[in-house]
Structure 1
Amino acid sequence: MKQRAPLTLAAVTAALAALTGIAALTAPAAPGGPADGKAAAAARMPVERSLLVCPAPSSSDIADTTYTAFTPAATGGTPAAGATGQVSARLLGATKDAKPVLEPKEPGRPFGATASGADAPALTGVAEGLLAPGWTAQQTTKVSVGRARGVLGAGCTAPGTDFWFPGAAVAKGREDYVHLTNPDDAAAVVDITLFGPDGPLKPEAGAGENIRVDPRSSKAVLLSSVAPATQLGDVTAHVTTRAGRVGASVQVAEEGVGADWLPASTDPAGSLVLPGIPADAVSVRLVAFVPGDQDADLALRLAGPGGSISPAGSEQLHVKAGMTASADLGDLTRGEPGSLLLTPVDAKRTSPVVAAVRVVRGSGAKQELGFVPAAGPVGVRATVADNRPEENTTVLALTASGTQDAKVRVTASPGTGGGEAASQELTVKAGTTQRAAVAPAGAKGSYALTVETLSGGPVHAARTLSLPHDGIAMFTVQTLSDDRSTVSVPKAAQDLSILTR
């Protein structure tokens, strides 16, 4: 047997150097450190890489799509301090050729691009360095005529492994496609399960299981092909991955009503907020689902400008475990923007739920639909891109969903074609929804809106973008959620005592 060589002084010195660089996360405090022996609090630093995916915008030959990408400047209008490394951002086709569509150059200014027809691909995008913290991208598609006419807006999202879509349908007159986008170099494998009012829908043999999404590609799956013998107006679609990760969104086309994207609901929770239901909604339909094994009894309240009220005749909703429940709330907002608050009837008995509302504006042949999913709070900061300067085109709604007032700052960036940024601080009273009217001075092109929570309770937000056409109130609603532009970085310290253990 070969004998191990003895340690030399140089080797011991190298080992000591390596060991003293280990972070002292759980070790006793070194001399001069915290008196109680606790590790120093972790610092928060800007992320150095952000990944987004966008679905293929439309199958219509007359579709016109606008892409807008934006990275907020740090507080004070300067680039994010601490962000290092390569500085770049690109939205490019989720295809083997991967042709660039949009390449932003600097924080604090939005950049835009356009595409036409049915050949515009799904996109993947990576931002690095100064452009990574809070990087946001939006695609807005307008289809003037046809079965899928309407404005379809989608905020590009981070890929994941688990998505809930309450508000989908497999009914006659509806075409719902789940769009799956794989940004990685390995294939993803996806399952789609549908839940109706009586529980899981029985799929066609093998349908909805082991759906392969090739590397750097996208796939659209028609929901009615998963359960072809079913005709249900309200179902919940659950998208999970067996391997890899994907971006997932549901594209909805409803005959005679319009088209839009149904985004995923926020993660299941006992209480939910569905923010920014348009003021002129003529029909609001709530769809909720309980993923767990205990029923949920939900109290419904509408948070409007003057406070929160319970909608007459729809004060509560009972949701059976594993089953989709729905409620028609009519013209819930009655001329004022509002947000729907769902809370447990009994605070001691909570069951996590997911939810979304289908919203209709207009009447007769001039109707248009959109969706508002349950969304998380804006947290420290959240951004929505592609806002238009024309009057009454962009409406930003802010809701203080807790028991505390909230102070926020809303910043409008310059436009893609110029203009001066504008900012406003305002207080949103607890239990109310307020409209924020902030736009850049002399804006040309589209601009971004960034919401920062300064103090107080949680704030939820949504932007309604209205692009009327031929008398149709075409619109789309995007919720805002924390951009997670920073990450927790443990504070490292030398700890020689590790050598004696």
Structure 2
Amino acid sequence: MSDRRVFRWATTGARVLAGTLVAAAFVVAVTTAVAVPWPTLTRDPVAVTTRPAPEASVLACAGSLLALGRDAGTAGAISAAAPQNLIAGVREGAAPPVETPLATSVAGSAASVFTAEPENRTRTDLAATGSSTVADDDLAGYAASACRPPLTESWLVGGATTTGSGDIVVLSNPGQVAATVQLTVFGTSGPVVPPGGDLVVAAGTQQALSLAGLALGQDSPVIRVSAIGAPVTAVLQTSLTRTLLPGGVDQVGAIETPEQILVIPGVSVAPTDGPTVDTQTILRVLSPSADATARVTVIPTGVAQPVSEPISISLTGGLPLDLDLGGLEAREYTVSVEADAAVVGAVWQTTGFGEGSDFAWYTPAPELAVPSLFATPTGPSPALTVANPTGEQAQVTVDAVDGSSSTTVVVQPGQSARFSLRGRTVYSIDPGGVRVRAGVSLTADNALAGYPVWSGDTAAEPIVVYP
């Protein structure tokens, strides 16, 4: 072998060896880089936390009592029957609310909207309510209802479209743009959007239409009110005539949403003259979208023991059910419904079945999570029933906002307590951090009405903006 070939072989071997060493070093370096954390440089994005500007508080009222069929030439015509007496107020020190009339579709009727502007970037709590009394040959009784904020969806539970019923759906649009409203009637055939169930409610107006014109022959209807474009406030005026004698009237406020637990406090059972074959207390309940099983409990105010074992009922999705709650002694009760699907419901109660009698529909009370305002109207001496469905004791304080009275009561778990109130007064209720339910009831010999207390508006949650 020549020296040149030996040198060439040695040179080639050295190159191979060097390449192998470089490759091995590279593998070791990469492995080490993967295994050992690299230094990182992070920078938090610029963020600004802000709270949205609060909106004005807006409440629309039911308006005048209305009557059906007073025009002999037009059986379905609606007429004004009696004005509504209103009271509204805010917390002490806030600017008084502004009352604005709504343009109504019924000649001679009137309806109002109350607005309270925010102050110092804080929403102003507002409460308003109204009542009416009528004593005509075709319509008689006492009605009271709280003025409520407009909603994009709500539910009306009550009334009927059978013989003797004269029910009217009242829709108010206190906004600045028109609302397209769809009415879905749940009855014996399930949910139906009837002819006339799609309508437009112009901004700043109130419309009234006969429920019988939407769904005739229904003895236990429930109505879903859906609005697009602007929210609306819905009320069901329901009245009854027995053998040409008026048997009462009521203005039933809307329920905001179906829930699995309904609590209806302050159901006032009036004394009767003697035994009667007619049903005096009825619970109407609907599971809108699914079959369900529900348990109904009736508990007298001030005690923990229910009047009987819970009643179990089976609900068919989309079909309302009326349940006779039996002969209850004359006093106030809280009716609770617990279901395995979301439901809506209300309790019907009457003072009797003869001339001069009256009735009321009591709707569920939402949870009171924060101190809230409510108002009492003209009429019988009002009372507030506070139900505590939770497992903890609640210390509830009720103050007149003008400082004229203050009452604090401890409500035990599973029980309810009653507060005596004055008429035409704005009150504040503080649930003391416990989620209670409350309802106002007004009861006299021939007058009956009630409505729930809604929770006050809480401040808007802060939002984070990334510029």
Task: Place the TM-score, normalised by the shorter chain, in its bin.
Answer: 0.7 to 0.9
TM-score (norm 1): 0.73
Q: Give runs of aligned pairs for residues 33-182 of structure 1, distance below 5 A.
A: 47=54, 49-59=56-66, 63-73=82-92, 79=93, 87=95, 89-95=97-103, 119-130=108-119, 133-182=124-173
Measure, in 1, the Cα distance between the counterparts of 2:112 and 2:343.
Answer: 30
Measure, in 1, the Cα distance between the counterparts of 2:377 and 2:233.
Answer: 23
Contact 2:64–2:81 (CA under 8 A) maintained in structure 1: no
CA shift for structure 1 position 363? 4.2
Measure, in 2, the Cα distance between the counterparts of 1:270 and 1:57.
Answer: 34
Contact 1:62–1:118 (CA under 8 A) maintained in structure 2: no
Match of 2:326 among 323, 330, 333: 330
Residue 207 (structure 2) pairs with residue 219 (structure 1) = yes
Contact 2:65–2:81 (CA under 8 A) maintained in structure 1: no
CA shift for structure 1 position 490? 4.3
Q: Assess, with a 3 A threshold, how the Cα gap between structure 1 residues 324 and 182 changes in structure 2: closer, same or farther.
A: same
Measure, in 1, the Cα distance between the counterparts of 2:175 and 2:401.
Answer: 32
Residue 422 (structure 1) aligns with:
405
Measure, in 2, the Cα distance between the counterparts of 1:358 and 1:409.
Answer: 29
Measure, in 2, the Cα distance between the counterparts of 1:154 and 1:198.
Answer: 30
CA shift for structure 1 position 479? 0.8
Match of 1:461 among 428, 438, 441: 438
Residue 456 (structure 2) pairs with residue 483 (structure 1) = yes
Deviations 1:90-113 (A, max 9, x none): 1111139xxxxxxxxxxxxxxxxx
Residue 446 (structure 2) aligns with:
473
Q: For structure 1, which runs of at least 5 residues remain unmatched after alignment?
A: 1-18, 25-41, 74-78, 81-86, 97-116, 345-349, 415-419, 440-444, 493-497
Measure, in 2, the Cα distance between the counterparts of 1:242 and 1:46.
Answer: 24
Residue 449 (structure 1) aligns with:
427
Residue 364 (structure 1) aligns with:
354
Let me know the Cα RMSD of the aligned residues. 2.8
CA shift for structure 1 position 322? 1.1
TM-score (norm 2): 0.78
Measure, in 2, the Cα distance between the counterparts of 1:463 and 1:118.
Answer: 31
Give the structure with higher Rg (CA).
2
Identity of aligned residues (%): 21
CA shift for structure 1 position 177? 1.1
CA shift for structure 1 position 286? 0.6
Contact 2:129–2:377 (CA under 8 A) maintained in structure 1: no
CA shift for structure 1 position 59? 3.0
Measure, in 1, the Cα distance between the counterparts of 2:376 and 2:259.
Answer: 30
CA shift for structure 1 position 463? 1.0
Match of 2:386 among 392, 398, 411: 398
Measure, in 1, the Cα distance between the counterparts of 2:56 and 2:305.
Answer: 40
Contact 2:159–2:165 (CA under 8 A) maintained in structure 1: no
Measure, in 1, the Cα distance between the counterparts of 2:170 and 2:221.
Answer: 17
Q: For structure 2, which runs of at least 5 residues remain unmatched after alignment?
A: 1-44, 68-79, 273-279
Measure, in 2, the Cα distance between the counterparts of 1:120 and 1:382.
Answer: 30
CA shift for structure 1 position 248? 0.8
CA shift for structure 1 position 159? 0.8
Match of 2:398 among 392, 399, 410: 410
Match of 1:286 among 274, 283, 287: 283
